[in-house]
Structure 1
Amino acid sequence: MKPPNYSNTQRTWILVLLYSLIIVAATVMAYAIRFDFSIEDSFAQPYDRIGPVWVGIWIAKLAALVWAGQFASLLSFFSLPDLRRLALALGPVSLVLLVAWYSGMLDHVSRGVIVLDGILGLAGMVLCRLGFRLVRESAFDQSDEVPRVGIVGAGQVGAALARELQTQGSMVPVIFFDDASSKAGSQVHGIPVAGSLETLREPGAPELDEVIIAIPSAPGARVRKMVEILESLDLPFRTVPSMSQLARGDIATTLRPVEIGDILGRESVEFRGIECADFFAGKTVLITGAGGSIGSELSRQLAKLKPKALVLLDHSESALFKIQQELSGSDFLSVALADVKDSAAMKVVLKTHGPQVIFHAAAFKHVAMMEQHPAMAVANNVNATHQLAGLATKHGVEHFVLISTDKAVAPTCMMGATKRLAERIMEGHSLVGGSTRFITVRFGNVLGSSGSVVPIFQKQIKEGGPVTVRDRQLTRFFMSIPEAAGLVLHSAALGQNGDRFILDMGKPVRIADLAEQMIRLSGKTPGREIEIQFTQLLPGEKLHEELHNTCEQLTETSHPKIKRIQGDAFNEADWTKLQAELRQDERPQNPQEWMQSMLPDYQPE
């Protein structure tokens, strides 16, 4: 049986009555304790003298409680902040009384009574509120309808989640699981801590309706093991949000299913927002391709850093409208509907907004489609990049950051080759000697981007399969979109002219394993309920991607997840030759042959 729900008026009058009784009872008990239940004659003052004094004190205490907002509190919700507010309300009243006693204004009232009255009054109110809380929690504990949950992780996040669940009463946390042997046998908020999650397989394990993984920083390999254990026990499970999401609000209200990003084996990277905020403060930032996966996430993260102005540019009206609506509350935001291949339009954008920083994320990225339209790949990924870099120099842009890809390393497809040539163009412009810093940031696949394998698998699983994998041994590097965007921002802040950076992508993931894990996370069994079908590599696709070639060496930077590429540098003679080719008015008749002449390491398959 749950405790009754009172209206605001009913709750206020109940608290007024209870607090009044406690205040009066505290005074009576203070006199009784002070004089050993026999008041001395010297303090037995006539009622008409001492009575009004205490009535006034009681009214003052009630007024202090009103000021502290105690009569607006929910009866059965009481925690340390409420205790502090009670102490801040009643403490000053007792302090004023003591000052009055020392000044001779209350010499007919015992000093000991004043001290005891304050202590007993506070203690009585605390015990009263705790009593209401215990009644509520015991009522929920006795309910057969409330799900019993176990929490993995007896750390700060797990403890906060347990307290929130106890307060809400929507679920009853009955046990913690934690890998730290030192915590086994202890208690957190009255909830016992067992060993690791593997103890659920032992005889006598508690019966649970659900398990919540409350370790947002857990390595992917450990999360993957937890998922395997819970699936084998047929137990539903969810997880807490990421650390950045945890900072935005309650934990219990943002619980979500375990996602593929949780078990890929990557640890999340630290986003040093303060450092980036200092760099972007007072600057106008332009993002090309702002409606895309990386461009839109760069826009979100930069909007939080509050630059002087943020200009979002894209040629897709619908994509640009979507990110504009999402960030519509930012008064420093403006949009530009333009194509990066349109030189006249880009001149207007740069002249109008005068950006100090450009993130060039606009690119054609789909391998198979660019194999079919190689001329468009050259026009968008190569010519437009060169054109915009030249405009950036003329308009005094301070930082120009190119977003590149691991497919640019020893490219076998037109998309990768055009991005490799775009990297070379950045190196070439850095040799000119102007004030613009040209920086390249290279990384692999990002989870959930449009056209990537994860949303394709999700669609195939939703439709009942089969899930198509190009090859049993196919591997790819993965990181989350927020990770990639955050590290790109850091790269801009620490980059010098001509710098080439590569993001730490962790270990490559076998796509067949990824497919199996996604099927299991959907509640299905690979091979039985959802078939995995192996096909052939598409034209231009590699079996395994690389992050750098054998001529490139990686060196450390001030950020542990960002490496600087050294070696295989572009020289002025190479730049002069490439510039001459890029000045040609006519497009090459055979883009693949032209690309091979520009990039000897481009070997189409």
Structure 2
Amino acid sequence: MRDLLQPLFRLPRRRKRTIQLLADCALITFSFLLAMLLRLEDWAPLGEVRTWAALLVMIPLSLAIFIRLGFYRAVIRYMSHKAIRAVFIGVSVSALSLPLASYLFALGIPRSVPFIYSMLALLTIGGVRFGLRAIYLRNQIRHKQRVVIYGAGAAGRQLAVSLRHGQEYLPIAFVDDARSVQNTFIEGLKVYPPRQLGYLADTYGADRVLLAIPSVSRERRREILADLEPQGFPVQTIPGVADMVSGRARISEVRDVAVEDLLGRDPVPPNPALMDANIRGKVVMVSGAGGSIGAELCRQILRHGPVRLLLLDLSEFSLYRIEQELRQFAEHEGLEVGIKALLGSVQHRSRLETVMKAFAVQTVYHAAAYKHVPMVEHNVVEGVRNNVFGTLETARAAIAAGVETFVLVSTDKAVRPTNVMGASKRLAELVCQALAGHQHQTRFCMVRFGNVLGSSGSVVPLFRRQIQAGGPITLTHPEITRYFMTIPEAAQLVIQAGAMARGGDVFVLDMGEPVKIAELARQMVRLSGLKVRDERHPDGDIAIACSGLRPGEKLFEELLVGDDVAPTSHPRIMTAREVCWEWPRLEGFLERLFQACRDFRHDDIRELLLEAPTAFRPQGEIVDLVWLERSAASAGARPPAPVTRLRPALERQGQA
């Protein structure tokens, strides 16, 4: 039947309305003639003039009433039960036109015919419409997934209505842990306690759970997901309240469960005074603006009213993308902020100094860095150049340009590092600490935190792709753990920490409890409605394979070198006292390190990283790709290092 009706549903609206008008003419005629036949029990009156005269009056009047009531504006397959009221009114007025026509034109229509006609017209005119709708919906149901909606509140009710008219899901029940609504009916669906999900699966074929609880806390969502996980249902969710209110999403947009719901905490509301201190009414520059953290810093900064926001990045595409996003947001929100996209490397001090002076920059958030551990291990020289000397040149440019505040975005991998990336970021911290004590014009601080969810190097999107592909999920080690934080929370805390800086501060963010990556992978598999395949469950769906730790990778990360940590006015920001060198000593060390990088002396770079107060403890041999190739070609021989003055070399590099 659905295939026969498809050509009808695909017709243009005007043609559909014409068909409805003709159909109603036929149905009115049929209902009236049948009413006359039933009342008079004789075919003879059907051939009389009075019968057809009554129709000539009733049909135009009835169609006019139907048009007025909006009969022909409604889409039949989406008609709600409220349409019954409109059909009843239309047919009633149509029936009343019969005695009126009989009286005015002396047609002699029996007084009981209008009542019989109204009953028949309700069955035909209303019945045809709701019959077509029922046929359409019944055929749609065959192709829909049967789902249970978790949450019988306002969001759940709206979701049920939306899904009924959609193409993918058929809601068959609600579940809710509130006893006050259990065993009641909402939108025609019964509300069950969560423990009866298995019964719903067995009895009604439910094979998916949709979370319709957008306003509950992340802690509560995590508890609910923990309860649902062992039951083996794929779990999806609707957008959060903020996305729906802002218009970025609709309630019917079902999404995969965000990892924030598995790992994230409820963020502490930001302190407006701290958020505004280094931003409102100021010229702000973000280096690495196209990266995960840099881009989110830009979004947060834009909301707090800077005079200008300068975006600096070496990647043309990343810079273009974040510039377009911020301009659209500013236009949509009516923000009068000058957004300037600047291409450039943080290693080119003359470029940075010129930019900072030209725009009179007051606050710098330095997020530019190479952060991927194995990538930096294979490209040691560029990692050190960008992370250490990029920070040095940006900091020197900030001092020369009279910048008020310089905030370095650091990482937990800088604590007792086992890799070059972590050691280079600890050296970047040492640079800022030394310069904070060497001058008093620019206030320097560092903010150290762990992994952020959804960054370019995060395991979460990788795991999701591997699950969709049927596995296996690849881990480096079954015991590896990491700290996680959402990107928006991290960016807010970086901004607030920078506002509390007095000079040389090392701020550490409270990252919560460390997460075992293997258990995260298992949770993602189970919430996808699949089973982990292992020795105990050889018939599972997704295997988890361990490939071994990558070069420089640690089993666990730390946030502090020592225990000398103090709280601040913000519950999730701490300050730590870390060992540092005075600037003259560090400057001499940096000259030697720069020379080793310039000459690609990888073994000397490692020795220098071990010499610095970074607590660097490499776990293996040098794996830089260039060094390995040169070593293989020359059987391990290395040419002697040239003897040159290093300070002029640094100065020349800064002026390039």
TM above 0.5, yes or no, is yes
| Alignment partner of 1:179 is 2:177 | yes
* Helix, strand or coil at the partner of 1:351: helix
Query: Do 1:141 and 1:172's aligned partners in 2 also have CA atoms closer than 8 Å?
Result: no
| Alignment partner of 1:564 is 2:574 | yes
Partner residue, 1:592: 606
Partner residue, 2:615: 601
* Equivalent of 1:517 in 504, 508, 523: 523
Partner Cα distance (2:465, 2:173) in 1? 36
Range that drifts further, 339-348 or 443-452: 443-452
Partner residue, 1:201: 198
Q: CA deviation at 1:604?
A: 1.5
Q: CA deviation at 1:403?
A: 0.8
Query: Do 2:290 and 2:315's aligned partners in 1 also have CA atoms closer than 8 Å?
Result: yes
1:149–1:369 Cα change, 3 Å: closer
Partner Cα distance (2:513, 2:282) in 1? 36
Q: CA deviation at 1:409?
A: 0.9
Range that drifts further, 477-486 or 218-227: 218-227
Equivalent position amino acid for 1:326 in 2: E
Partner residue, 1:314: 313
* Helix, strand or coil at the partner of 2:557: coil
Partner Cα distance (1:400, 1:209) in 2? 53
Partner residue, 1:419: 425
Amino-acid identity (%): 37
Partner residue, 2:554: 542
Show the 5 A alignment for 1:255-404.
255-263=254-262, 265-270=263-268, 272=270, 278-279=276-277, 280-329=279-328, 330=330, 332-404=338-410
Partner residue, 2:213: 215
Q: CA deviation at 1:205?
A: 6.4
1:523–1:159 Cα change, 3 Å: closer
**CA deviation map 1:267-286 (0-9, x unaligned):** 24245485566442222221
Query: Do 2:267 and 2:489's aligned partners in 1 also have CA atoms closer than 8 Å?
Result: yes
1:73–1:385 Cα change, 3 Å: farther
Q: CA deviation at 1:366?
A: 1.7
Q: CA deviation at 1:358?
A: 1.1
Q: CA deviation at 1:585?
A: 8.4
* Equivalent of 2:140 in 120, 128, 145: 145
Partner Cα distance (1:165, 1:496) in 2? 55
Gaps of 5+ in 1: 12-71, 80-130
Partner Cα distance (2:171, 2:271) in 1? 35
Query: Do 2:593 and 2:608's aligned partners in 1 also have CA atoms closer than 8 Å?
Result: no
Partner Cα distance (2:81, 2:583) in 1? 70
Partner Cα distance (2:321, 2:593) in 1? 36
Partner Cα distance (1:556, 1:242) in 2? 31
Partner Cα distance (1:243, 1:315) in 2? 36
Partner Cα distance (1:303, 1:464) in 2? 41
Q: CA deviation at 1:308?
A: 1.7
Partner Cα distance (1:442, 1:537) in 2? 23
Q: CA deviation at 1:229?
A: 4.5
Q: CA deviation at 1:156?
A: 5.2
Equivalent position amino acid for 1:449 in 2: S
| Alignment partner of 1:477 is 2:483 | yes
Q: CA deviation at 1:549?
A: 2.7
Partner residue, 1:553: 565
Query: Do 1:386 and 1:422's aligned partners in 2 also have CA atoms closer than 8 Å?
Result: yes
**CA deviation map 1:251-297 (0-9, x unaligned):** 4243212244432x322424548556644222222111111121122
* Helix, strand or coil at the partner of 1:254: coil
Equivalent position amino acid for 1:299 in 2: C
Query: Do 2:348 and 2:393's aligned partners in 1 also have CA atoms closer than 8 Å?
Result: no
Partner Cα distance (2:161, 2:553) in 1? 51
Partner residue, 1:27: none
**CA deviation map 1:428-474 (0-9, x unaligned):** 23324524332211111122322332344345445554332111111
Partner Cα distance (1:550, 1:278) in 2? 32
1:491–1:7 Cα change, 3 Å: farther
Q: CA deviation at 1:213?
A: 0.7
* Helix, strand or coil at the partner of 1:252: coil
Range that drifts further, 412-421 or 248-257: 248-257
Equivalent position amino acid for 1:201 in 2: G
Q: Report the number of matched residues.
A: 489
Range that drifts further, 332-341 or 503-512: 503-512
* Equivalent of 2:589 in 555, 574, 581: 581
Please say which structure displays the higher CA radius of gyration. Answer: 2
Equivalent position amino acid for 1:539 in 2: P
Equivalent position amino acid for 1:200 in 2: L
Equivalent position amino acid for 2:557 in 1: E
Range that drifts further, 496-505 or 397-406: 496-505
Partner Cα distance (1:439, 1:192) in 2? 57
Query: Do 1:271 and 1:487's aligned partners in 2 also have CA atoms closer than 8 Å?
Result: no
1:242–1:501 Cα change, 3 Å: farther
**CA deviation map 1:484-512 (0-9, x unaligned):** 22332333344443332222222222222
Partner Cα distance (1:289, 1:601) in 2? 27
Partner Cα distance (2:13, 2:324) in 1? 39
User: RMSD across aligned C-alpha pairs, in angstroms?
Assistant: 4.1
Equivalent position amino acid for 1:152 in 2: Y
Query: Do 2:497 and 2:573's aligned partners in 1 also have CA atoms closer than 8 Å?
Result: no
> Normalization by structure 1: what TM-score?
0.69
Partner Cα distance (1:191, 1:141) in 2? 20
Partner Cα distance (2:612, 2:152) in 1? 58
* Equivalent of 1:448 in 449, 454, 461: 454
1:397–1:344 Cα change, 3 Å: same
Q: CA deviation at 1:143?
A: 4.5
Query: Do 2:505 and 2:575's aligned partners in 1 also have CA atoms closer than 8 Å?
Result: yes
Query: Do 2:445 and 2:503's aligned partners in 1 also have CA atoms closer than 8 Å?
Result: yes
Q: CA deviation at 1:162?
A: 4.5
